[in-house]
């Protein structure tokens, strides 16, 4: 699978309705998404397997990578396209040993540039800074400023993703500062027209 960490990166909300989740992700893929991350912090193991498997089938049909948030063993079990891990999850080198050389590994670096440098050195395929703006998903998350993206573009060779409270209105400064991709949850899943909203995000990257 050819993948590009560029543009709109769709992250799922904590949604127990598998049919609604799959329908919304399918609409988003129609609108244009570069990657999808399955993230459900409160799901049971059974629901997580059900939803991740269903989303993987949808993403494979669309030839778009599906990453699993945190749950490395689940990603291996399903043969998903990669994982996204935080600072206190499995170490990147250990994760790579589990998932293999061909899988995507993304790392949360919050608002700390030194974590991004270390993640790149350890073999991450991309790094993520956030929360860029106040986020309903993580209201107490540390704030990542635009200068982090500018510095990353100058110093890092891996793609840089912005996440946290991103909307169509506040996305342009992040792209201008150097974000290769923007991970969005609420602004997509609560949109009246999901596919249209995704197309609007992709046009922001096309203009930059």
Residue range 7-207 in CATH 3.10.20.740: no
Mean pLDDT of 12-38: 98
Confidence band, pLDDT 50/70/90 cuts, at residue 141: confident
Q: Is the pLDDT of residue 208 over 90?
A: no
pTM beyond 0.75: the answer is yes
Q: Is the pLDDT of residue 125 over 90?
A: yes
Tens digit of each residue's pLDDT (9 = 90 or more) over 99-123: 999 999 999 999 999 999 999 999 9
Tens digit of each residue's pLDDT (9 = 90 or more) over 20-29: 999 999 999 9
Q: Is the pLDDT of residue 2 over 70?
A: no
- What are the extents of the domains in the chain? 7-207
Mean pLDDT of 172-176: 98
Residues recognised as catalytic: 39, 108, 138
Confidence band, pLDDT 50/70/90 cuts, at residue 142: confident
Mean pLDDT of the chain: 95
pLDDT at site 3: 74
Instruction: Compute the chain's Rg from CA coordinates.
Output: 16
Task: Encode burial over 79-106: b for 16+ CB neighbours within 10 A, e otherwise.
Answer: ebbbbbbeeebbebeebbeebeeebbbb
């Amino acid at each position: 699978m050819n993948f590009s960490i560029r543009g709109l990166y769709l992250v799922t909300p904590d949604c127990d309705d598998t049919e609604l989740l799959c329908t919304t992700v399918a609409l988003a893929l129609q609108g244009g998404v570069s990657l999808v991350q399955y993230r459900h912090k409160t799901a049971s193991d059974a629901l997580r397997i059900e939803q991740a498997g269903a989303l993987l089938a949808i993403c494979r049909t669309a030839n778009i990578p599906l990453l699993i948030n945190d749950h490395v063993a689940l990603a291996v079990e399903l043969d998903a396209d990669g994982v996204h891990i935080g600072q206190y999850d499995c170490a990147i080198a250990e994760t790579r040993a589990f998932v293999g050389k061909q899988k995507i590994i993304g790392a949360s670096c919050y608002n700390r540039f030194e974590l991004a440098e270390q993640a790149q050195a350890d073999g991450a395929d991309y790094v993520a800074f956030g929360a860029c703006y106040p986020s309903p998903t993580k209201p107490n998350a540390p704030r990542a400023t635009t200068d982090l993206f500018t510095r990353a573009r100058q110093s890092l060779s891996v793609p840089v993703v912005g996440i946290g409270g991103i909307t169509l209105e506040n996305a342009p400064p992040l792209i201008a500062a150097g974000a290769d991709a923007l991970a969005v949850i609420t602004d997509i899943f609560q949109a009246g027209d999901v596919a249209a909203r995704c197309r609007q995000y992709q046009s922001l990257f096309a203009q930059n």
